[in-house]
């Protein structure tokens, strides 16, 4: 079935209308009419060819909320009319150790997991994401969404920004008695603040933007630090259990390593196209500190996060845009001028 979409035809052309062919649902597939799609910084890294191995045309979008239009005959988990979500993955090998442990994002199968867009890292046909009116996905990679109707647009960013911060918060055991830093208050960072707060941690937000201080407190930060202020940074030396760094550009990681206490960990989730300057070994050695990384989250933990958010009334703070404004939205995102996630109203593309 041909459906409307927006695609970048090359790294240097803006996104523009295009058509993608969605497969008719096979026995285990769910056909989804897309209602909303969040705009992740990864979409822009991809559309502008900033990462290695991008295939064009590229149709970004991996924060998808939609309604089930039809299901294949072996589908047991979903039924037509149900509200569902699709995040960053649409397939994985399902037999490797990682898949067996519900960590499909770390699939060691021959071609790794398949991304919702720009999927086949190891070869094969390209995949096209949520900047379109419909998508067909295997039921094992579809999530149940239990937010109310009015919260559905705000729930879209949970599918990437939410799970990408939730997964390391849970893995490194953020909770009561833990001091957690969130660096960069953008799409991922503002969800990190909300989720760390909801998990009961003492939350410190680090921002380069003075105008985000009041907001960060409303989002759930107990303290906010302007990361360009050396004195303010120094006052938090040796004090953090965990710092989650969401910044989308290369920068000095040592400024945060020295804020960790003994055995503390800084986790990188931001994926800048150029490497960070190497951190100093002495900052790691003398306090047994760790520098780690984390990639989105598995399907089971994504469902756990969605259910936690539905139960606790957590959504993303969004600015709704029509599909036609996507290029302007990218330019604003690059200037950190979004509070705090753009979400595309897919009705604008259907019209």
Candidate ranges 19-27, 37-45, 65-73, 310-318; the one touching ligand NAP (CB under 6 A): 37-45
Q: Both tokens of residue 230?
A: 């050396």
Q: Which residues contact 349 (CB under 8 A, 6 or more apart)?
A: 4, 5, 6, 131, 132, 133, 322, 323
What is the chain's alpha carbon radius of gyration, rounded to the nearest angstrom?
20
For residue 170, the surrounding DSSP H or E stretch is: helix 161-171
Q: Which residue is nearest to ligand NAP (CB)?
A: 186
- Nearer Cβ to ligand NAP (66/270): 270
Which of Zn ion, ligand NAP, none lies near 109, with the C-beta cut-off 5 to 8 A by kind?
A: Zn ion
Contact 243, 264 (CB under 8 A): yes
Residue 45 as a binder of ligand NAP (CB under 6 A): the answer is yes
Residues in region 239-278 near ligand NAP by CB under 6 A: 246-249, 251, 269-272
Residue from 188, 198, 260, 299 in contact with ligand NAP (CB under 6 A): 188
- Tokens representing residue 146 in the block: 């239990």
- Where do we find the tokens 């041909």? 2
How far apart (Å, rounded) are the C-alpha atoms in residues 40 and 60? Answer: 9
Determine, following the binding rule CB under 6 A, whether residue 162 of this chain makes contact with ligand NAP: no
Task: Rank residues 199 and 299 by Cβ distance to Zn ion and give the closer one.
Answer: 299
CB 306 within 8 A of CB 168: no
Position among 25, 30, 42, 134 found at the interface with ligand NAP (CB under 6 A): 42
- Between CA 177 and CA 201 the distance in angstroms is 6
Contact residue for ligand NAP among 93, 121, 213, 295 (CB under 6 A): 295
Considering only residues 107, 333, 343, 346, which one is a binding residue for ligand NAP as defined by CB under 6 A? Answer: 333
**Among all chains, which residue has been given the structure tokens 């603040």?**
193
Cβ proximity to ligand NAP, 41 vs 197, nearer residue: 41
**Least distance to Zn ion, CB of residue 332, Å:** 17
Instruction: Report the interface residues with Zn ion, using CB under 5 A.
Output: 40, 42, 92-93, 96, 99, 107, 109, 160
């Amino acid at each position: 079935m041909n459906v409307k979409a927006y695609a970048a035809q090359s790294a240097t052309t803006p996104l523009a209308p295009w058509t993608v062919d969605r497969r008719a649902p096979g026995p285990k597939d769910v056909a989804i009419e897309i209602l909303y799609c969040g705009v992740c910084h990864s979409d822009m890294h991809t559309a502008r060819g900033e990462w290695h191995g991008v295939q064009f045309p590229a149709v970004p979008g991996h924060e998808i909320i939609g309604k089930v239009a039809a299901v294949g005959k072996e589908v047991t988990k979903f039924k037509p009319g149900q509200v569902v979500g699709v995040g960053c993955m649409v397939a994985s090998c399902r037999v490797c150790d990682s898949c067996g442990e519900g960590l499909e994002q770390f699939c060691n199968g021959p071609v790794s997991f398949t991304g919702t867009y720009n999927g086949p890292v190891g070869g094969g046909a390209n995949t096209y994401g949520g900047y379109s009116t419909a998508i067909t996905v295997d039921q094992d990679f579809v999530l149940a969404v239990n937010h109310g109707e009015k919260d559905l647009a705000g729930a879209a960013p949970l599918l990437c920004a939410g799970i990408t911060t939730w997964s390391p918060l849970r893995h490194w055991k953020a909770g009561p008695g833990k001091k957690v830093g969130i660096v960069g208050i953008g799409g991922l960072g503002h969800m990190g603040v909300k989720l760390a707060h909801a998990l009961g941690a003492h939350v410190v937000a680090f921002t380069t933007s003075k105008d985000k201080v009041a907001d960060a407190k409303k989002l759930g930060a107990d303290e906010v630090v302007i990361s360009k202020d050396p004195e303010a940074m120094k006052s938090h030396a040796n004090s953090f259990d965990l710092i989650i760094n969401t910044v989308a550009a290369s920068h000095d990681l040592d400024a945060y390593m020295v804020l960790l206490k003994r055995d503390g960990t800084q986790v990188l989730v931001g994926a800048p196209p150029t490497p960070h300057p190497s951190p100093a070994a002495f900052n790691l050695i003398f306090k047994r500190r760790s520098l780690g990384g984390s990639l989105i989250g598995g399907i089971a933990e994504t469902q756990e996060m969605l259910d936690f958010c539905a139960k606790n009334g957590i959504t993303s703070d969004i600015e709704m845009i029509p599909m036609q404004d996507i290029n302007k939205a990218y330019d604003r995102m690059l200037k950190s001028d979004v509070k705090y996630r753009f979400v595309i109203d897919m009705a604008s593309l259907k019209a």
